Structure 1
Amino acid sequence: MNILFTLCGRAGSKGVRGKNARDFRGAPLVWYSMAGIQLYIERYKQPEDSIEIVLNTDSEDLIKLVKRVSSMDVAVLRRAENLAGDCIPKVAVILDCLVRAEEHNGKRYDMVVDLDITSPLRTVEDIAHTIDRKKQRADVDVVYSVAPARRNPYFNMVKEENGFFCKAIPANFTTRQEAPVFYDMNASIYAYSPLALKEKEQATFFNSHCDAVLMPDTGILDIDSEEDYELMQVIAGYLFENKQEYKSISNYIQKWK
């Protein structure tokens, strides 16, 4: 199987300035995704597999951080200006990675796996689980990671309407357990069908023909604010100290410092 791993991060960020090139617990944030990929290659890559990694960015700082890990072969795809705006769907950037990687490497890929740089709290088992699920589900366009939702629009989520607050979805459920189960997309791992990337409408890509894998809700946060950045480092400290599956990522990064 030909697998393309993508790392995507632009220079600009309104919520957290320069977040993709920041440190996270003393190491570059992007290294956590890179360590996950490298551990996947070492533990799960089959002899018949071909795996390439690309970085799509307009950030010189991010490029330098990735290139510091000389033991990993990561091809840099400099992001075009028309793909660097605030309103560009990430699916468009992933498609750009796919098309350019196929042209450069002269091959077709069976799967594109994106690891979000700003969601570092994942394990190599989470990555492997997502990839295996996509292998099993040729009928879906993408398999992405989710976490159990702490709130439910039928029960304890509300909206403002005509000067009043009311349930997001009108319902008569009296306990959360009665309501339909919801999950949060935790913006961590995505395993795409290359054909779907090329043919499916980008604006509504996640509205149909998707599947998901469950991750613990400790990984629900991604870095969209300074508060997220600080809180996630506290959570990471606990996970790296007490959970071996997370510690293996942290330990792997130490050899790159």
Structure 2
Amino acid sequence: MSRICTICARGGSKGVKNKNIRLLLGKPLIAHTINQAKISGLFDCIAVSSDSAEILAVAKKYGADLLIDRPKEMSTDFAAKLPAIQHCVRVAEENRNERYDVIVDMDATSPLRLVDDILKSVQLLEETSDATNLITGMPSRRSPYFNLVEVDSNGIVSLSKSLEKSVSRRQDAPKCYDMNASIYVWKRGALMNSEKLFQSNTILYEMPEERSIDIDSELDFEFVSFIATKRGELL
């Protein structure tokens, strides 16, 4: 089984300036994800894709196997991430003359995952024969069946999703999850031949809230810094 880890990190960041290389526990943020991928021992290649020469230089310093210049059209604020991952895999396969069976993409902005989360996510997908891909998520604090609402054009509020029989406790509602942007795992065909994340056989690996913060704001960075400092090492 041949596996590649992709880490796609743009240079531009609106919520947290230069967040992918901002220091966390004395190391650039992206370095923690590279280190986790290396320690897992799963990957034949760790490839970092970026439009930023500075990010690529940091990735090289901390042990990435392959540095890939992301095309400008895949680096805008409105560009979807899936084409960037597909591009990264194609370039890596051409560069290293190798075909990868399993692709694992990890966001540098979700560094609180454990190496064990990576190992178990990959194991779960590989041992689920009919699954095409896997996402990670945490149990949602809000439920679209109980306390997540929408407001229509007339200002009328209603639950986001309805059930035939309403529930009076959130615990009685169908279980829901927040995606945590931590780990995505694909079988090659499912990634390279699709434009959608959610497929007919997408499965989920559950992670706890304390390992599920994705940095989109300064407040997120403060939360991650607090938890990381308490842990002492992100492994």
The answer for the alignment partner of 1:158 in structure 2 is 149
| Separation in structure 2 between the aligned mates of residue 230 and residue 18 of structure 1, nearest angstrom | 15
The answer on whether the counterparts of 1:98 and 1:194 sit within 8 Å (CA) in structure 2 is no
Residue 126 of structure 2, aligned match among 117, 125, 135: 135
| Separation in structure 2 between the aligned mates of residue 217 and residue 73 of structure 1, nearest angstrom | 28
| Separation in structure 2 between the aligned mates of residue 74 and residue 62 of structure 1, nearest angstrom | 14
Deviations, residues 115-138 of structure 1 (Å, cap 9, x unaligned): 110000011100000110111123
Q: CA RMSD in A?
A: 1.6
Whichever residue aligns with residue 13 of structure 2, its letter is: S
How far the C-alpha of 1:165 sits from its partner, in A, is 2.5
The answer for the alignment partner of 1:254 in structure 2 is none
| Separation in structure 2 between the aligned mates of residue 173 and residue 9 of structure 1, nearest angstrom | 42
The answer for the alignment partner of 1:86 in structure 2 is 77
The answer for the alignment partner of 1:167 in structure 2 is 159
> What SS class does the counterpart of residue 177 from structure 1 fall into?
helix
The answer on whether the counterparts of 2:48 and 2:64 sit within 8 Å (CA) in structure 1 is no
Correspondences of 1:213-252 after superposition (within 5 Å): 213-238=205-230, 240-241=231-232, 247=233, 249=235
The answer for the alignment partner of 2:182 in structure 1 is 188
| Separation in structure 2 between the aligned mates of residue 128 and residue 90 of structure 1, nearest angstrom | 23
1:178 correspondence with 2:176: no
| Separation in structure 2 between the aligned mates of residue 248 and residue 120 of structure 1, nearest angstrom | 7
| Separation in structure 2 between the aligned mates of residue 224 and residue 177 of structure 1, nearest angstrom | 29
> What SS class does the counterpart of residue 205 from structure 2 fall into?
strand
1:211 correspondence with 2:213: no
**1:248–1:199 distance in 2 versus 1, CA, 3 Å:** closer
Residue 68 of structure 1, aligned match among 61, 65, 72: 61
Unaligned runs of 5+ in 2: none
Which 4+ stretches in 1 moved above 3 angstroms? none
Whichever residue aligns with residue 197 of structure 2, its letter is: F
How far the C-alpha of 1:208 sits from its partner, in A, is 3.1
How far the C-alpha of 1:73 sits from its partner, in A, is 4.6
**1:209–1:235 distance in 2 versus 1, CA, 3 Å:** same
How far the C-alpha of 1:40 sits from its partner, in A, is 0.5
When the two structures are superposed, what TM-score results if normalisation uses the length of structure 2?
A: 0.93
**1:108–1:138 distance in 2 versus 1, CA, 3 Å:** farther
How far the C-alpha of 1:87 sits from its partner, in A, is 1.9
Whichever residue aligns with residue 198 of structure 1, its letter is: M
Give 1 or 2: higher helix fraction: 1
| Separation in structure 2 between the aligned mates of residue 155 and residue 99 of structure 1, nearest angstrom | 43
How far the C-alpha of 1:75 sits from its partner, in A, is 0.7
The answer on whether the counterparts of 2:113 and 2:212 sit within 8 Å (CA) in structure 1 is no
How far the C-alpha of 1:248 sits from its partner, in A, is 6.0
Whichever residue aligns with residue 93 of structure 1, its letter is: A
How far the C-alpha of 1:14 sits from its partner, in A, is 1.8
The answer on whether the counterparts of 2:113 and 2:234 sit within 8 Å (CA) in structure 1 is no
How far the C-alpha of 1:166 sits from its partner, in A, is 2.4
Report how many aligned residue pairs link the two structures. Answer: 232
The answer on whether the counterparts of 2:21 and 2:30 sit within 8 Å (CA) in structure 1 is yes
Whichever residue aligns with residue 12 of structure 2, its letter is: G
| Separation in structure 2 between the aligned mates of residue 19 and residue 109 of structure 1, nearest angstrom | 29
The answer on whether the counterparts of 2:133 and 2:186 sit within 8 Å (CA) in structure 1 is yes
| Separation in structure 2 between the aligned mates of residue 186 and residue 52 of structure 1, nearest angstrom | 24
When the two structures are superposed, what TM-score results if normalisation uses the length of structure 1?
A: 0.85
